[in-house]
A and B are shown apart, each in its own frame.
Chain A
Amino acid sequence: EVQLFESGGGLVQPGGSLRLSCAASGFAFRDYAMSWVRQAPGKGLHWVSSISGSGGDTYYADSVKGRFTISRDNSQNTLYMEVNSLRAEDTAIYYCAKGGESGHYGDFDYWGQGSLVTVSS
């Protein structure tokens, strides 16, 4: 059974940093692209970033480029997102999502339960 479990969220001041983690199990982690998608409270879904199975290719939404860094440790079956220079508008639930069998990075077949990041002074 595929399981994704995010952690690392919390309350942070504007300009602060966090590292989000997503622990994966139930599939061959290194064989699949992974992504982060966020959802502001009461709002819709927004793609944030994706990374290839090897970790060699990364992609970002313009709104986070230069501030967020996606990475993965295939030996630990864990996906990360380093989030820096946080702004109020980054407040959201951050979901990790697994790439589907199609191989397309944006084909999300499984999602974690999410980790809430709140940016506030």
Chain B
Amino acid sequence: DIQMTQSPSSLSASLGDRVTITCRASQGIRNYLAWFQQKPGKAPRSLVYAASSLRSGVPSKFSASGSGTDFTLIISSLQPEDFATYYCQQYYTYPFTFGPGTKVHIK
């Protein structure tokens, strides 16, 4: 199985901060990488697919990049609604696997 790791596992940030979350796959997955946002008690929300394509309706403060094994999600200016847990996921091959998540806290 392809293992997905994320760093950091958690971070504290202030409103307006630029936040960077990284995701690494244990083997190359081309660009078959998605990012999700999950708030407590809610279902995950899709932010990004194909490593860098924003879903319809996702604000442009989110950006993502990467290919192969290393990927990045950036939130350009953190707002109150962005405090959540972020997961990456590979869909290059079965079983589809998720990273352990990065929890973004308010500083």
Instruction: Give A residues with C-beta under 8 Å from B.
Output: 35, 37, 44-47, 50, 59, 61-62, 95, 100, 102, 104-114
Of B44, B49, B87, B97, the residue contacting A102 (CB under 8 A) is B49
CA A47 to CA B1, docked complex, whole Å: 12
Q: Is the CB of B46 within 8 A of A108?
A: yes
Kindly state whether residue B91 has any CB partner on chain A within 8 Å. yes
For B96, the chain A residues whose CB sits under 8 A away are: 35, 47, 50, 105-106
Q: Give me the interface of B with A, judged by CB distance under 8 Å.
A: 32, 34, 36, 38, 42-46, 49-50, 55, 87, 89-91, 94-101
CB distance from A40 to the nearest CB of B (A): 12
Residues of A within 8 A of B101 (CB): 44-45
Q: Are B91 and A110 in contact (CB under 8 A)?
A: no
A35 to chain B, nearest CB (A): 8
Given A44-B100, A95-B43, answer yes or no on A108-B34 (Cβ-Cβ < 8 Å).
Answer: yes
* The one of B32, B44, B55 that contacts A45, using a Cβ cutoff of 8 Å: B44
Provided the pairs A47-B97, A95-B43, A112-B43 are in contact, do residues A106 and B36 lie with their beta carbons within 8 angstroms? no
The complex places the Cα of A109 from the Cα of B89 at a distance, in Å, of 12
| Inter-chain contact A59/B49, CB cutoff 8 Å | no
Question: Is B49 a contact partner of A44 (Cβ separation < 8 A)?
Answer: no
Q: Which residues does chain B contribute within 8 Å of A108, judged by CB atoms? A: 34, 36, 44, 46, 89
| Residue picked from A44, A46, A61, A102, most chain B C-beta under 10 Å | A44
Given contacts A45-B38, A106-B89, A111-B46, 14 further A-B contacts (CB under 8 A): A35-B96, A44-B100, A47-B95, A47-B96, A47-B98, A95-B44, A100-B49, A102-B50, A104-B91, A106-B34, A107-B49, A107-B50, A108-B36, A109-B49
